[in-house]
Structure 1
Amino acid sequence: MARKYFGTDGIRGATNAHPMTAAMAMKVGMAAGAHFARGDHKHRVVIGKDTRLSGYMLENAMVAGFTSVGMDVVLVGPMPTPAVAMLTQSMRADMGVMISASHNPFADNGIKLFGPDGYKLSDADEMAIEAMIDGDVALAPPEQIGRARRVEDARGRYIHFAKSTFPEDLTLDGLKIVVDCANGAAYQVAPSALWELGAEVVAVGVSPNGKNINDGVGSTAPQTLCETVVATGAQLGIALDGDADRLILVDETGRVIDGDQLMATIADGWARRGKLAGGGLVATVMSNLGLERHLAAQGLELIRTSVGDRYVLEKMRSSGYNVGGEQSGHIILSDYATTGDGLVASLQVLAELVRSGAPASEVLHRFDPLPQILKNVRFKGGKPLEDTTVKEAIAAAEAELSGNGRLVIRASGTEPVIRVMAEGDEAGQVEAVVDRVCEAVRKAAA
């Protein structure tokens, strides 16, 4: 059964338009609060947010929803998504909420929910909450209405946690690091943690005004970081997204380092020290074939999942892996966190950099990525991937790339778009294959 409100990462949309309205946020609070009201103890939810203007509106609406069903609320203000997950678990809350639309522009917002274990909700939990959103939720009697309070030391708790993941025998002394916080949730905690570990920190994207989150800064717009790293002579640049659950890095030459290279760097180092669980790592079908070949040369496996960090985490948990992520920079290190954590992942990469003593351009370039092309074909309706001509084009493309590359075709889960991705040893062949499949999809969708 398809979910009505929840997508691959919570509920998301343009604010003040369905479903991202104050009224819906209150209903989500009521439904989620009622769903997690288990046992006779006083129930509690941790609510964090990024720096979007609409965060105030949605936060207050969710407080009303949760307290109306008898749940106490702990407000931690602007905090990274992984910090909310960590605080939910460490404060023994019954659930956690992050109000954020991640890397989207400020006009969008979203609601991410975590269970008491700090993990994102299962499909079953989301379906149960959706059913309650559209139904009637019993309100608490007047004497059992919840209370709301702000915790002022939440930032300090997360900074302490993040620093604890960095090896005790190492420091960042002597390193100049540029950190771009996307004018988002980590604008205070990330520069502070890096500075306290000894780095000289140049901070950009740390002046949020409610409307400038991800605007020309952050992991989806790394040009500012690239220029700043080169101009300041920094050894490394770190760019987080709006809710700081993913990152990309920039080496001292201004070159962007994506999630595939970062996963390879961490996995190589952990494997050498006997810390890598499962004999490999988990990534999605979008990760470059170069990563897979690199790992194989080290005697390590690459396990692929569908696109979405939740699917990566599910595989990690079910099969015993402790490193996983996405090419886009969601890096999940389950020894430390229950979700992607850009700051914690950057600290593990920095540990490898410090140990090696070599420049980032050498340490972080683990393999040469194969030519990879992704094109989108928009369609108005129907199921073009079920068309016979499209199936034949896909089969022919797969046969042509067999042994020399990969073809990944999928329908977007958020918009009427077919995504066609291919990679292989020959750039011209890859582009020709993608173009032929896209043309077949366009004709079928016409």
Structure 2
Amino acid sequence: MVGKGKKYFGTDGIRGEVGKGVINPDFVLKLGWAAGRVFSKQGRGKIVIGKDTRISGYMFESVLEAGLASAGCDSLLVGPMPTPAVAYLTRTFQADAGIVISASHNPFFDNGIKFFSATGTKLPDEIEFAIEEELEKVLLTSPSAELGRARRIDDANGRYVEYCKSTSGYLNLKGFNIVLDCAHGATYDVAPKVFRELGANVTVIGASPNGLNINENVGSTSPAALQKAVLEHKADLGIAYDGDGDRLAMVDHEGQFVDGDELLYILAKHLQAQGIVKDGVVGTLMTNLGLEVALNKLDLKLVRADVGDRYVNEQLTEQGWVLGGENSGHLVLKHVSTTGDGIVASLQVLVALVLAKQSLSEAKSGMRKYPQVMINVKMPKKVNVLKLPAVVEAVASAEEALAETGRVLLRPSGTEPVVRVMVEGEDVSLVKQVCETLAAAVESAVGKP
């Protein structure tokens, strides 16, 4: 999805299938040069480059390094590292920016480029616009004496492991039996080290990357393997990351899946008791209504941002709050990290469990997820469905049918010509009926493709 008014940048960098569109060596070479031009305007630039484990990362790392060097920027290469590790290392090395080569939870044949600012946050719009402006220019190599250099940071792994442990206050996990699923991705080396060094007994799956198996039937988007392993090993809990390590999901000792909304509830209750969360939590338009109800019982508000951790972060800054996230498992804890970090967030959940002397199953029991039904309605052309009188009337009828026990959301997709019709509420049969009726009304109003 391309951001508002942007030609290349979406809500999370630039992403697509390798060899198609702009995800090719020629474009990424020029992207490196364009970014180098923007970041080196105050003098010689310095950029941290990390990647996940997909095979195309080698190719894009090389051309990015070349593009940056041609613009007079130095590169610090950290190799396969979680996306949030690059944000941390960018701050640690006082670099001008960080670049991650990753397509997150997508399959291996996709890849992407995303950026962090010098402070470890997503780039502001004006910087992305500036890079796109440079992309329209002819690539001119800097004079030989001004070319950038590259060096590999051999201790990047150890630095990040120590940072993760420190965010938990060096929590003692002795006696914990944990299964980790690293999605054959960027956390495959650092995550087991973190938990083992904190004393946990760790069983690891999804930690044998070969460049082609990232996210394949493992990780936070495919929890079946973790659920099976937790039961087989009689573990206290399981933790799954996605391919680049910025989101997580968990599994309790009974093999039950615990999603981002439930983890947000556990963290909100814990951080409220610590005096860190005082007013509220930021979710998204897709956050389950059950979380909002549970937070209200804690006298906490839920503010909904647009879908995407970028927008969660923006809303956290606007509210002056520290905790937010998505049901997909992107969890942002601004008191310990500048961006969503799967390892750091999972450690914070464990801190909450230890202090409350609860199992994961007990800790999530204070929140009841509401049944949620979603139907995708295809559109013949792009229209603002929320302004069609028939749709407005149908939404009003749906909300009246649900009364105070449910919620309706119509959300046009940013990547395909469909409208996502979502209904949730206490009564699953009513939710299903209302969603089907509303979807039919939307389809009738927009016409069949």
Aligned residue for 1:183, secondary structure, equals coil
1:81-125, Cα deviation, whole Å (9 max, x unpaired): 000001011110001000100000111011111111111112222
Q: Distance in 1 between matches of 2:125 and 2:376?
A: 27
Q: Distance in 1 between matches of 2:366 and 2:447?
A: 40
Q: Distance in 2 between matches of 1:4 and 1:378?
A: 25
Q: Distance in 2 between matches of 1:375 and 1:171?
A: 45
Q: Distance in 1 between matches of 2:300 and 2:388?
A: 38
1:14-163 equivalent positions in 2, closer than 5 A: 14-40=17-43, 42-163=44-165
Shift of 1:324: 0.6
User: 1:342 maps to which residue?
Assistant: 342
Query: Any conservation in 1 of the 2:382–2:417 contact (CA below 8 Å)?
Result: no
User: 2:266 maps to which residue?
Assistant: 265
Q: Distance in 2 between matches of 1:285 and 1:320?
A: 20
Query: Any conservation in 2 of the 1:382–1:445 contact (CA below 8 Å)?
Result: no
Q: Distance in 2 between matches of 1:437 and 1:131?
A: 43
Gaps of 5+ in 1: none
User: 1:225 maps to which residue?
Assistant: 226
Distance verdict in 2 for CA 1:257–1:6, change over 3 Å: same
Shift of 1:305: 0.8
Shift of 1:375: 2.0
Give the TM-score normalised by structure 1: 0.97
Are 1:371 and 2:371 matched, yes or no? yes
Shift of 1:435: 1.1
Shift of 1:138: 4.4
Q: What one-letter code is carried by the residue in structure 2 that aligns with 1:71?
A: C
Shift of 1:380: 4.0
Q: What one-letter code is carried by the residue in structure 2 that aligns with 1:58?
A: F
Aligned residue for 2:42, secondary structure, equals coil
Q: Distance in 2 between matches of 1:215 and 1:436?
A: 36
1:389-420, Cα deviation, whole Å (9 max, x unpaired): 33332232233234221111111112222111
1:295-314 equivalent positions in 2, closer than 5 A: 295-314=295-314
Q: Distance in 2 between matches of 1:103 and 1:404?
A: 33
User: 2:431 maps to which residue?
Assistant: 430
Q: Distance in 2 between matches of 1:305 and 1:401?
A: 23
Query: Any conservation in 1 of the 2:38–2:130 contact (CA below 8 Å)?
Result: yes
Aligned residue for 2:94, secondary structure, equals coil
Q: Distance in 2 between matches of 1:317 and 1:136?
A: 37
User: 1:408 maps to which residue?
Assistant: 409
1:151-300 equivalent positions in 2, closer than 5 A: 151-168=153-170, 170-276=171-277, 278-300=278-300
Are 1:10 and 2:24 matched, yes or no? no
Query: Any conservation in 2 of the 1:102–1:243 contact (CA below 8 Å)?
Result: yes
Q: Distance in 2 between matches of 1:21 and 1:438?
A: 39
Aligned residue for 2:249, secondary structure, equals strand
User: Mean Cα displacement is larger for which, 222-231 or 131-140?
Assistant: 131-140
Shift of 1:388: 3.4
Q: Distance in 2 between matches of 1:383 and 1:424?
A: 28
Shift of 1:137: 4.7
Q: Distance in 2 between matches of 1:301 and 1:387?
A: 31
Q: Distance in 2 between matches of 1:28 and 1:380?
A: 34
Are 1:418 and 2:401 matched, yes or no? no
Are 1:355 and 2:358 matched, yes or no? no
Q: What one-letter code is carried by the residue in structure 1 that aligns with 2:176?
A: L
User: Mean Cα displacement is larger for which, 115-124 or 207-216?
Assistant: 115-124
Query: Any conservation in 2 of the 1:104–1:214 contact (CA below 8 Å)?
Result: yes
1:199-254, Cα deviation, whole Å (9 max, x unpaired): 00000000000110000000000000000000001001000000000000000000
Q: Distance in 1 between matches of 2:380 and 2:47?
A: 41
1:35-79, Cα deviation, whole Å (9 max, x unpaired): 112323x31000000000111111111111111100000110100
Q: What one-letter code is carried by the residue in structure 2 that aligns with 1:8?
A: T
Q: Distance in 2 between matches of 1:90 and 1:441?
A: 51
Q: What one-letter code is carried by the residue in structure 1 that aligns with 2:163?
A: F
User: 1:333 maps to which residue?
Assistant: 333
User: Mean Cα displacement is larger for which, 207-216 or 412-421?
Assistant: 412-421
Q: Distance in 1 between matches of 2:340 and 2:137?
A: 33
Aligned residue for 2:67, secondary structure, equals helix
Distance verdict in 2 for CA 1:445–1:88, change over 3 Å: farther
Shift of 1:153: 0.7
Shift of 1:15: 0.4
1:180-207, Cα deviation, whole Å (9 max, x unpaired): 0000000000011000000000000000
Shift of 1:166: 0.8
Q: Distance in 2 between matches of 1:205 and 1:295?
A: 34
Query: Any conservation in 2 of the 1:384–1:441 contact (CA below 8 Å)?
Result: no
Task: Give % identity.
Answer: 48
Q: Distance in 1 between matches of 2:378 and 2:30?
A: 33
Aligned residue for 1:126, secondary structure, equals helix
